[in-house]
Amino acid sequence: LLACVCCFSKLSCPWILPDGQCVPADVVDPSGGGQSHKLSVLSEHGLTTGHGAHRVQMDVPRRLEDAREGLNIRSWLSVYQRDRLSHLALDPGTLLRPLPLGGVNWLDLERVEDRYLLAASSDASVLLYDTQGQEEEAAGQVPPGQGPALPGLAPLLSLTKASPGGHRFSVSSAAWYPLDNGLFVTGGYDCQVKVWDANTPALADSFSLDSRVHCLALSAVPGAHCLTAAGCEDPAIQLCDLASGARLHSLAGHRAPVLALAWSPAAAWQLLSGAADGSLRVWDVRRAGASLAVLDLESTGPEGALPAAAARSAAPDPAAPAAARGARAHRGAVTSLALTRDGLRVVSAGADDAVRAWDGASFRNTLVNFAGAFNRARRPRQLALARDPDALFLPSGSAVLGYDLRSGAALCTLRGGHHEAVHACVWSEAGGGTLYTGGADRLVLTWRPRAGRGEDEEDAWSE
């Protein structure tokens, strides 16, 4: 039965969640906040009252048992959200038009509205999609006869080789300016980092580097600085200042191409980088030529990462400790790197078929086991992190693997959408959670929690 365990009425209960479930009657905060506490927590998690489109089955006996055991509302919601993530499926109702010629290298969703999606392509193009455009077209807001002639939602903006200031070779990375969805940055194999005005659209600025660009990262800390970090074929990380239009100093320490970059959301000047030699370094970008720490997969104690006194140049220092010189985070290239929004966890993936979670303060290996991870890429691959609960999505061949970030437990395996290797994933918290993926097959796909058995069982109950 799907009757509400608060009031045993499936029609009038004010605590129905978006999938048709109700918060258990006895699941309250230990402080005794009662239903007023329920309302604040549900609002905090974006869960409104009333029935929604998605229904995920969680039987009443299990929920009552949890309530009797004193499970509080936040813990129950974590179980609920994990259940939704385990039911992710391809959404046939949201189709983005495939890229014309090349595969998808990178995706980025702006965080101001969680609406506009950038796709960087190997054919030197950059496409911008309005992910809500499909809904507006379905609602009749697009004039008749002006919709896309081809299947799928057409991009709002398409920058190609023929566009003024466009890239000449593959675009490896694209990133929105965190505080304004009117500006984004791209980097490519033509050794260029370009800054674009999304409203015009027009090229606003460009930086010429010495080698092809593999990855970009912009800090998400409001007002801290306007630095863009570029990981290149040349092992030195390049820093570009969007405010002044000048190239600043470089960060030397890696001895192989830099394939992954991420700024810390907890420390404005702290940058993490992963390279093709398996090394993962932490930098204070205010200090040229010296990294703060080198992450070591063998370092699991409270002291955390090894000090980086040995890493002041690209050449090994014979006087430095052997452990620091040879420290590696992965036994293969570091292809993916991300931090949780609170900066408490660092997640990396490598070509050694391993995903590792690191403590965001000590940078020690937390030894979480992500069983079944598969990654043999020698190029950047973009993983995505979700929150409430903390989860990660990892491209793995033509599939995407979902894991619980805290325990390493497998949540889902997304197959049947892409026909070739998946290169990029990005997660949106809007609308109960959406995963966008892009791959070598030129497709950008949308995955959402699918309807479970609850809807059919409710119909049967009503009869």
Averaged pLDDT in 10-residue chunks for the chain of 463 residues? 42 48 47 48 46 37 48 66 87 82 94 93 96 58 44 87 96 94 96 95 95 94 87 96 91 95 93 96 86 89 61 41 69 96 95 96 95 91 91 96 95 94 94 92 92 44 39
Cα–Cα dist 194/204, whole Å: 8
Cα–Cα dist 195/167, whole Å: 11
- Smallest CA-to-CA distance from 332 within 272, 392, 275 is with 275
Same domain, 340 and 203: yes
Q: How far does CA 449 lie from the centroid of its chain?
A: 17
Rg, C-alpha atoms of the chain: 23
Crossing angle, helix 34-44 and helix 73-85, to 10 degrees?
40
Domain boundary among 58, 85, 112: 85
Same domain, 208 and 271: yes
Element (H, E) at 152: none
Backbone angles phi, psi at 43, to 5 degrees: -65, -40
Same domain, 133 and 247: yes
Give the number of C-alpha atoms closer than 13 A to the C-alpha of residue 235, restricted to the C-beta side: 18
Give the CA angle between residues 189, 192, 197 to the nearest 5°: 120
Same domain, 222 and 331: yes
In the prediction, which pLDDT does 138 show? 42
Q: Is residue 211 part of a domain?
A: yes
**How many structural domains comprise the chain?**
2
Q: Is residue 405 part of a domain?
A: no
State the residue range of the domain holding 42.
1-85
Q: Is residue 71 part of a domain?
A: yes
Going from the C-alpha of 389 to that of each of 144, 206, 273, the distances in angstroms are 42, 39, 26
Domain boundary among 59, 85, 111: 85
Q: Is residue 453 part of a domain?
A: no
Cα–Cα dist 64/68, whole Å: 6
Q: Three-state SS string across 335-393, please? A: EEEEECCCCCEEEEEECCCEEEEEECCCCCECCCCCCCCCCCCCCCCECEEECCCCEEE
Q: How many CB atoms lie within 10 A of CB 43?
A: 11
Strand-pairing partners, residue 100, are none
Q: In what order do the strands lie in the sheet with 434-439?
A: 88-90, 444-449, 434-439, 422-428
Same domain, 348 and 303: yes
Same domain, 344 and 265: yes
In the prediction, which pLDDT does 99 show? 78
Cβ contacts of 266 within 8 Å, gap of 6 or more: 342, 343, 344, 360
Same domain, 271 and 215: yes
Same domain, 296 and 335: yes
Same domain, 116 and 232: yes
Domain boundary among 50, 85, 120: 85
Give the number of C-alpha atoms closer than 13 A to the C-alpha of residue 250, restricted to the C-beta side: 17
Backbone angles phi, psi at 306, to 5 degrees: -75, 145
Same domain, 154 and 62: no
Cα–Cα dist 423/31, whole Å: 46
Same domain, 13 and 111: no
Element (H, E) at 35: helix 34-44
Q: 353 burial class (0-12, 13-18, 19+ CB within 10 angstroms)?
A: middle
In the prediction, which pLDDT does 272 show? 98
* Largest Cα–Cα separation, the chain: 80
Q: 137 burial class (0-12, 13-18, 19+ CB within 10 angstroms)?
A: middle
In the prediction, which pLDDT does 308 show? 58
Cα–Cα dist 105/127, whole Å: 12
Strand-pairing partners, residue 109, are 117
Q: Is residue 424 part of a domain?
A: no
Whichever domain contains 143, its CATH number is 2.130.10.10
Same domain, 209 and 69: no
Q: Is residue 364 part of a domain?
A: yes
In the prediction, which pLDDT does 450 show? 79
Q: Is residue 250 part of a domain?
A: yes
Cα–Cα dist 113/106, whole Å: 19
Tokens 């055991």 label which residue? 69
Q: Is residue 289 part of a domain?
A: yes
